[in-house]
Chains A and B, each alone.
Chain A
Amino acid sequence: MELSKRMFIGLAGAAMATTMIPAAAMAWEPKKPIDFVIMAGPGGGADQIARFLQSVAEKKDMTNRPLVPNNKGGGSGAEALIALATTNDPDHTILVTLNSFFTTPLRQSNLGIDIQTFTPIAMMAVDPFVLWVHKDSGITTFEEWVDTVKGMDGEYVMGGTGKGQEDSIVIAYLSGAYDLKIKYIPYDGGGAVAKDLAGQQIMATVNNPAEAKGFYANGDFVPLLSFSDERSENFPDVPTLKEKGHDFSYNNQRAVVGAPGMSEEAAAYYQTLFKDIYDTEEWQGYMASESLAPLWMTPEETREFWKVQVARHQELLVAMGE
């Protein structure tokens, strides 16, 4: 009796599960921990943002399976792109990107990465770039900076995150536009760059505001120029390059993308998840305090945006002689 009752319940459960399948397919949910790949090493801007997103999801209990951060910063993110392109579980693999999402496949065509095969999920924000010097340099305006760099005739030292990386593109544009000779030292992350500017091992940097925030608040760093379209609310006195008469602006994308071949149901799940995270007080507050600008897009708009960005980066890289 006992046994048959249990069997009955079991059978009924099985029957219900069978009829439930279409419904379950509509509301897809992750079945195991989500591989949350980060296109940069620990500690830098992209890593900070990824861990912040993970913590918000965790704190608000927004996913039934955890997002597990997985740093793959090797080769300007090539390692991360390959990991996504070759994953055998595209429904549980997502990536936090920066602009190396566009530049790395262009610079290393042998990797065979086509970013249009990736699945758009969410554009969380764009991160502006600012030109910083140390306060002890005595430089307070962009014009003084240009004169100083010219006066040093090739001995002016700037640090950045490597050739072909976001900041080097900005520095290359500046060098071309103002005919500057700059010695460029590559570091493995924005944090290390900021530290060596604080220690005056290098003379200037093009960093995201989040990376320079602590030193700026302490008065060690002086912002000279921003590369956004408009002045930032957090730096109202810092002019933009556009105001100086150059039609150039440059931002770092903070976007989440899915692996190529992700199912539509899974993509819809992650799109809703990150929209919800985007709308939280925590994320809105983080964007304001770290000077990030909103740039929300639908998946279709994102694909269009990718096309424009790839074309633009191709031009910029060619101009740099890459």
Chain B
Amino acid sequence: MDILGHLADGMLLSIQPLNLLLITIGVTVGLFIGAMPGLGSVNGVAILLPVTFLVPPGSAIIFLAAIYYGAMYGGAISSVTLGIPGASTAVATTFDGRPLALQGRAGLALVCAAIASFIGGTVANILFTLFAPLLASVALSFGPPEIFALMLLAFATFVGLGGDDIPKTILSICMGLVFAAVGFDQVSGAPRLILFNINGFLHGINFLVLAIGVYGIGEMLWTIYSTRGEITSTKAEISAAQIGRDAKECMQRGWKGTTIGSLLGFFVGVLPAAGATPGSLMSYGVTKMLSKNPKEFGKGHPAGVCAPEAANNSASTGAMLPMLTLGIPGSPTTAVLLGGMVIWGLTPGPRLFVEQSDFVWGLIGSFYVSNLAAVIINLAFIPLFIWMLRMPFTVLAPLIFVLSVIGGYAAMRDMHDLWLMVAFGAGAFFLRRFDYPLAPAVLAIVLGPIAEPTLRQSLLLSSGDPTIFVTRPVAGPITVIAIVLILLPALKFFRKGKPAPAE
């Protein structure tokens, strides 16, 4: 096999002493950068890009890819231990990771995150190795109508969940969509919804500001409210044997989520418009929908940690594909990597695999090695993170607040965002008090900016004819599935509802 030969060469290249050292450093640095709220892989890669001028390009990109991997693992850590998403890609991890931590099972959540990340990364690497050129052409076949259909499907997975209060879910989505519309209209280029004429709204509402506000500040307020100021600390014990038992439970209860996350995440990541954040949110939604016990999600189900974590790692690898084969970044981080490649004199695009095959296979080989290094280093650090959790909440609460403020500021370096973040935190507290689900709003603010332009582009393409979403060969089936999912709760309601009056 030609591919296997190339891959073996690439792996050999990445376990050369210098490269192995860079991978170890990169993964460790990435792990901690990812764990800092607000700082994600994009910051890590951007900050360390200049360092890479000291080593040859092949080693440089391996180093950056290692940071990228480390940050993807690290994002889960603060999501679980503090309830603040460590990076936008780890928002979905807070949904179940935080409840697990509050039940004293942070170890289980962190082990699940590490294992699912490893599996997601590995599955993505194998798919990448075997099908890169084919997948690049699939990515190209996704025009605006296909992407919009996919976004519709993502919303459908959140609406179509049995058990939740559907009107409240829809209201939550609408709120998210309104926030997503703030800023500039891409089609006409005109400003819109600049609330109270505050200039800070011109750059739109940053997703991370909403997520940190809702999950960092909002969660902190909620904990203070629910404990009534009593001094509490979470019981958290960890040992090697406990990690083993957690790993076993994770495999038993989380395998389905891991599988869905690995495959769906990769596919969404490959599409240049999407990236790892939508990938992880969609995987969470689909896993919950397909689960036998959807009601356990959001209360601490291991699969609710496995799915988004497998997906964000898988999607991050997937996002490398359009970058390398088409020269188009699938995520902000890959945009920075792309900048690096141009400086090293490499032209990403269809010719890269042919002209720079050593470079490409060295990079792919390093994905495998980085992924393995990341899971080992991450598992080794779990006791440290657990130890942090044993601090009493009176110490943790100010810490969460400070980290939230830093994270909210780091995203855009704008004080306006901090006020907004506090407002979102307070708003989230009241919504939660009245049982409004918040995850759909978060999903909407991520997917809205993708769904809206693609909807309008599609309608421009078809001169306003909405059948474009059902007549195109790829968009059609996706749209139909999405509509069925949205109507499913209504159908269930009628089936249950009709016999009732007869009784």
Interface residues of A (CB under 8 A from B): 42-43, 47-48, 51-52, 55-56, 58-59, 66, 69-70, 72, 74-76, 78-79, 82, 86, 107-108, 157, 162-165, 183-188, 191-192, 194-196, 198-201, 213-215, 217-218, 220, 282
Contact = CB atoms under 8 A, between A and B. Distances in A.
B351 interface: yes
A302 B336 CA distance: 30
Interface of B: 46, 49-50, 53, 139-144, 183-184, 186-191, 199, 202-204, 272-273, 322, 326-329, 332, 335-336, 338-340, 342-343, 347-352, 413, 453, 457, 460-461, 463
Nearest to A75: B184
A117 B186 CA distance: 27
A188 B186 contact: yes
A198 to B, nearest CB: 6
B461 A183 contact: yes
Given A48-B339, A185-B461, A199-B141, A220 B189 contact: no
Contact of A199 (B140, B186, B189, B329): B140
A70 B412 CA distance: 8
A211 B199 CA distance: 31
Between A107, A164, A187, A198, the greatest number of chain B beta carbons within 10 A of the residue's beta carbon is seen for: A198
B199 A86 contact: yes
A52 B349 contact: no
A75 B202 contact: yes
B144 A74 contact: no
B140 A52 contact: no
A198 B340 CA distance: 23
A79 B142 CA distance: 30
Nearest to A60: B53
Given A55-B49, A72-B203, A191 B327 contact: yes
Nearest to A286: B342
Contacts of A217: 347, 349-351
Nearest to B138: A199
Contacts of B463: 183
B328 A191 contact: yes
A198 B189 contact: no
A188 B332 CA distance: 14
B189 A58 contact: no
Given A75-B189, A163-B188, A214-B327, A55 B50 contact: yes
Contacts of A43: 328-329, 335, 338
A322 B139 CA distance: 35
B187 A162 contact: yes
Contacts of A185: 144, 457, 460-461
Contact of A218 (B202, B272, B335, B349): B349
A191 B329 contact: yes
B326 A195 contact: yes
Between B332, B338, B343, B413, the greatest number of chain A beta carbons within 10 A of the residue's beta carbon is seen for: B343
A211 B309 CA distance: 33
Contact of A42 (B336, B348, B350): B336
